[in-house]
Structure 1
């Protein structure tokens, strides 16, 4: 069942990203997309909440109710410093592996780091990289990401 849900999430994500590739904004009705993919509306929420985050370069707005909608916009930041400042502001005090990888992907997509640099940083942030006596790996991961982003501002 999880694999089927994963595939459905991939399909929905792909569909929305294809629409966003043509337009920088997409406005959807959750129930219409759910009907189109023959899934429950909460599946649409899941995809939007996990795959269209600001860390991944998207802004999501929603309006509830009968005429409600969900608007997804691809963020086009003006220059490197804007990207770095925006991403730096998004790093929480505790950063999960997944969130860290989203930020690295965004840095790579904005050509601020190479693919190899992204892969090396991703390896450094993996759960099993930290010794078992490290009390808060998420906090260490956050500090590493903040240092990386700060360093990129001055190269």
Structure 2
């Protein structure tokens, strides 16, 4: 059974897909009311499921007429997407960031399910048994090497 966060995420993604612009504006309280949950649940879903690593940008305006705007960021080509992801790896990569990046690459059909499992196994915290922040730096270097290999393989 899916939990409420999964349901809210699916609902918001469906609305984004329907929009020609790939952008939606929502009122947190209205969405919370629709799903009979607290508004902080909507914040949680947006903060954890609509991240830059997953290909989204979020902005909000507080106050009575406030809104949350969610943008779907689209890369023109697979190369552009991999280049964009590589740019985000420079400061180290947490386990969650790695999952989000791999999720985005699967969704964009840049990598296969098999490739995703290999990447995640290589960068898992149980594989890289180092203290932080070294572990995040090593994870970033491993992901960078794998993505560069995929990038050059696709260019051949």
Which band: TM-score by shorter chain?
0.7 to 0.9
Map of 1:15 onto structure 2: 11
Instruction: Please report the RMSD computed on the Cα atoms of aligned residues, expressed in angstroms.
Output: 1.9
**Pick aligned residue for 1:52 from 50, 54, 61:** 50
> What TM-score, normalized by structure 2, do the two folds share?
0.86
Q: How does 1:140-155 map to 2 (within 5 A)?
A: 140-155=138-153
The aligned counterpart of 1:64 is 62
The list of structure 1 runs, each at least 4 consecutive aligned residues, that deviate by more than 3 angstroms after superposition, is none
Match of 2:75 among 74, 77, 95: 77
Are the aligned partners of 2:53 and 2:85 in contact in 1 as well (CA < 8 Å)? Answer: yes
Q: C-alpha separation between the residues in 2 aligned to 1:17 and 1:113?
A: 21
* C-alpha separation in 1, matches of 2:90 and 2:50: 17
Where do 5+ consecutive residues of structure 2 fail to align?
none
Q: Could you say which residue in structure 2 is the equivalent of 1:112?
A: 110
The answer as to 2:99 corresponding to 1:101 is: yes
Could you tell me whether the CA contact under 8 Å between 2:128 and 2:139 is conserved in 1? Answer: no
Hey, what's the Cα distance between the residues in 1 that align with 2:36 and 2:90? 35
Per the alignment, in what secondary structure is the counterpart of residue 130 of structure 1? coil
In structure 1, how many angstroms separate the alpha carbons of the residues matched to 2:60 and 2:75?
Answer: 21
Structure 2: distance between partners of 1:58 and 1:130: 28
Q: TM-score, normalised by structure 1?
A: 0.86
Does 2:31 correspond to 1:37? no
